[in-house]
Amino acid sequence: SITGACGAIQKLTRVRVVDNSTLGNTPYHRPPKCIHVYNKTGVGKVGDKILLAIKGEKKKALIVGHKMPGPTMTPRFDSNNVVLIEDNGNPVGTRIKTPIPCTLRRREGEFSKVLAIARNFV
Amino acid sequence: RVSSDGKPPKFQPPPKPVIIDRKTQKEERRFLSPEFIPPRGRTDPLKYYLERKDMIQRRKVFNIPEFYVGSVLAVTAADPHASDKSTRFVGICIQRGGKGLGATFVLRNVIEDQGVEICYELYSPRIQAIEVLKLEKRLDENLMYLRDALPEYSTFDVNMKPVPPEDHEEIPVNKLQVRMKPKPWSKRWERPKYNIKGIKFELPEHKMKAAQKWSQPWLEFDMLREYDTSKIEKKIRKELSEELEK
């Protein structure tokens, strides 16, 4: 059974990988889950890095949208979206079709490569 | 004209002219935005009066059009990080909340198979323009059930052309009954507490009957919950018309 979303992304939340990488898109009998949030609190919001367990491997990822409502004027998505990332910050995929919040543009320095492959901004 | 008996026909007085006074009718029906009506409570009315003054000041500078829950809007907001410094979002208004200067409305749209909702503040200085692309009402005041409905009911074209309103008198009510995704839903919309008329429930009869177990039929007769806003509305309308004429 699937529980309704309680908060933003924390340990053991199922996430949806949004880019076009093979690791994120090949079907597997278990959905990708978060196992660690690189944050002082264990709760990940938009722009936080997390560790995912996909297809039996550990991979870092960047949160680009969650179901929890945030500050006003920021978008709230219907699914917890995540983009796979390497340790140095390079994205694994080459294109991101789903819309990305404009608030990520504030941290242009860290996420410039991810923003470069994104198509739509909300 | 040939009459019976050769006598002249009985005098028929001319029909009385029916004067339809459109001006007074229009003034009575002019839309009052719901955030002007103060909530029921024990706070000093001075607080709401000062807030209304600020709201009117903002409305003099920036036009906030009349819209309802269920109308499609396009909002351009300022964003320092976007190229062009502004972002435009088109969506259907699913909820209008808050009173006074903190009044908000939530717009929903489905972009690239991803549902997105943004809660905008009506009186925020970051908003640069609000356009009403389609002005209409729906059967409910709160369309949060669109999150559990099929995505086709929440998709609106971003480059949609504004549909001009037909009548100047009445706002069209869209009696659309929305089909839902299979259960589980985020809220149990079939329960009478939500009182939703805009969903086509395809649930079996025994489930609909079981949901009626949670009905509270005494609530509509509870006199302590009544909040009659007619006199308050009259006062506020008078205030608004005086202030806007200045």
pLDDT at B7: 78
A121: chain B residues, CB-CB within 8 Å: 82, 87
**E strand or H helix at B230, and its extent?**
helix B230-245
| Percentages (nearest 5) of helix, strand, coil residues in chain A | 15, 30, 50
**Tokens found for residue B224:** 């302590």
d(CA A67, CA A10): 12
pLDDT at A5 over 60: no
Contacting residues of B for A75, CB less than 8 Å apart:
116-118
pLDDT band for A3, please (50, 70, 90 cuts).
low
Predicted confidence at residue B85, as pLDDT, reads 84
Compute the nearest-CA separation of A110 from chain B (Å). 15
Domains and CATH numbers, chain A: 13-117 (2.40.150.20)
pLDDT digits (tens, 9 = 90+) for B156-179: 999 999 988 876 678 889 999 999
pLDDT attached to residue B12: 85
H-helix segments, chain B = 22-29, 45-61, 205-211, 230-245
Tell me the per-residue pLDDT of A35-70, one tens digit each, with 9 for 90 and over.
Answer: 999 999 999 999 999 999 999 999 999 999 999 999
Q: What is the mean pLDDT of residues B208-219?
A: 94
What is the pLDDT of chain B when averaged over all its residues?
89
Q: For residue B108, count CB atoms less than 10 angstroms from its CB and return exposed for 0-12, middle for 13-18, buried for 19 or more.
A: buried
Ordered domains of chain B (ranges, CATH): 45-54+64-174 (2.30.30.790)
- What angle in degrees, to the nearest 10, is found between the helix axes of B230-245 and B45-61? 40
Peptide bond into B80 cis (omega under 30): no
Tokens at A47, concatenated: 């722009």
Q: What is the pLDDT of residue B108?
A: 96
**Interchain pair A102, B184: CB under 8 A:** no
Cα B172 from Cα B212, distance rounded (Å): 31
Report whether pLDDT(B139) > 90. Answer: yes
Asked if A98 lies within 8 A of B87 by C-beta distance, the reply is no
Predicted local distance difference test score (pLDDT) of residue B28: 58
| B21 φ/ψ angles, rounded to the nearest 5 degrees | -80, 95
Contact B124 A121 (CB under 8 A): no
Rounded to whole angstroms, the Cα distance separating A28 from A26 reads 7
Q: What's the half-sphere exposure (Cβ side, CA atoms, 13 Å) at A78?
A: 22
* Residue B3: pLDDT band with limits 50, 70, 90: low
- Which of A6, A17, A68, A72 to mutate against chain B (most B CBs within 10 Å)? A72
Note the pLDDT of residue B16: 85
Could you tell me which residues are beta bridge partners of residue A14? A33
Relative to beta strand A81-85, strand A16-17 is parallel
Chain B residues with CB-CB distance to A81 below 8 A: 114
pLDDT at site B17: 83
Q: What value does the mean pLDDT take over residues A109-121?
A: 91
Across the interface, which of B112, B126, B186 has its CB nearest the CB of A98? B112
Number of residues that make up chain A: 122
Q: Which of B105, B107, B109, B86 is nearest to B97 (CA)?
A: B105
Q: What is the pLDDT of residues B19-33, one digit of tens each?
A: 777 666 555 557 899
Q: Which of B222, B193, B192, B196 is nearest to B208 (CA)?
A: B192
Structure tokens at A63: 């949160």
Q: Which residues pair with A34 in a beta bridge?
A: A52
Positive/negative CA dihedral, B73, B74, B78, B79: positive
**pLDDT value of position A21:** 93
Residue B4 banded pLDDT, cuts 50, 70, 90: low
Considering only CB atoms, which residues of chain A are within 8 Å of chain B? 2, 4, 65, 69, 72-79, 81, 97-99, 102-103, 105-106, 108, 120-122
Return the residue of A nearest to B87 by Cα: A122
Cβ distance of A99 and B82 shorter than 8 Å: no
pLDDT digits (tens, 9 = 90+) for B181-199: 998 899 999 999 999 999 9
Could you say which DSSP state residue B108 is in? E
Q: pLDDT at residue B84 above 90?
A: no
A66-110: per-residue pLDDT in tens?
A: 999 999 999 999 999 999 999 998 999 999 999 999 999 888 888
Q: How far is Cα A122 from Cα B159, in angstroms, rounded to an integer?
A: 15
**Which residue, B141, B130, B177, B147, is CA-closest to B69?**
B141
Strands A49-54, A16-17: pairing is unpaired
